Structure 1
Amino acid sequence: MIEKRQEDWENKKSDKGRIVRSEERRTRRRQPVLWKSVINVGTYSFDCVVFDVSLGGAKLKFDLPLKPGTLANLVIKDQWSLPATVVWQDEDRMGVKFDYDESRVRVMFGPLAERL
């Protein structure tokens, strides 16, 4: 069931009826990374790894299930702290959308933002 929902999420039909993979719908460049991070949910903190990042969000390896819509704070490399919202979760992977606008994330990431 989870696999089917994830597949449905990843494969959306365009207005012409063809299936469009999620990678084709992305509007932001993603940078592959391996960053040790922490995700804070309420008063709880959990270790995670960021696998890719964009100005709009990140994909994480995270072993506990969090429902889409969960509000969190992602602390990347003890350097950047970003409020985020869970948008999808599948087994040990999760996608979050940053709650800051892109211009603020760009300033936070500094030179890295040139690759995003």
Structure 2
Amino acid sequence: MAKKTVEQTAPDIKPVAEDQAQGEDSRQFKRRSVLWPAKLRVGKHELSCQIWNLSLGGARVRVDLPLQEGVEIELSLSGRGDIPATVVWAKGELLGVAFEVGPEVIRRMFEDRLHVLGLADSD
């Protein structure tokens, strides 16, 4: 049996630079790969999660509990604050969330990291 490569087993998880270089990313905001621990609140429940990528408009999140599109959540990042968001896509443990606050709020939350993340010049 042939051994599968990472690209074959996870074709939708591409490095940001690859998406941008191929011109495939039509998102409103730049996104950057991160690996940050966070808390995800849905209703009265709070779960540990990881933020896999971040933009001024949303994030890719990994959480052990599958959620459906349209679910309203809150992401809590230690020392940064809480971000209300809505699940816009879900594939198993991976979620795409759209922030329910404007990009200026996210800029303020991460103002000390914008240059490091490469998001300082995002609209």
Q: How would you bin the TM-score normalised by the shorter chain? A: 0.7 to 0.9
Structure 1 match to 2:43: 42
| Distance (Å, rounded) in 2 between the aligned partners of 1:104 and 1:56 | 10
TM-score under structure 2 length normalisation: 0.71
Match of 1:24, SS state, is: coil
Alpha-carbon distance in 2 for matches of 1:38, 1:83: 12
Q: Secondary structure at the match of 2:98?
A: strand
Per the TM alignment, residue 61 of structure 1 is displaced from its structure 2 partner at its CA by 1.0
CA distance in 2, matches of 1:42, 1:50: 19
Whether the 8 Å contact between 2:39 and 2:47 is mirrored in structure 1 is yes
Q: Distance in 1 between matches of 2:79 and 2:35?
A: 14
How big is the shift at 1:72? 0.7
The match for 1:98 is 99
Q: State how many pairs are aligned.
A: 98
The one-letter amino acid paired with 1:85 is: T
For normalisation by structure 1, the TM-score amounts to 0.75
Q: Which has the higher strand share?
A: 1
| C-alpha deviation, 1:103, in angstroms | 1.0
Q: Deviations over 1:30-89 (max 9, x none)?
A: 111110010001110011000000000100111211111111110123532100111010
User: SS of 1:107's equivalent?
Assistant: helix
Distance of 2:88 and 2:39 partners within structure 1: 17
What amino acid is the match of 2:87? V
* Sequence identity percentage: 34
Amino acid at match of 1:93: L
Gaps of 5+ in 1: 1-9, 11-20
Report deviation, 1:109: 1.1
Q: How does 1:1-116 map to 2 (within 5 A)?
A: 23-114=24-115, 115-116=118-119
Q: CA deviation at 1:108?
A: 1.3
- Say what the alpha-carbon RMSD is for the aligned residues: 2.2
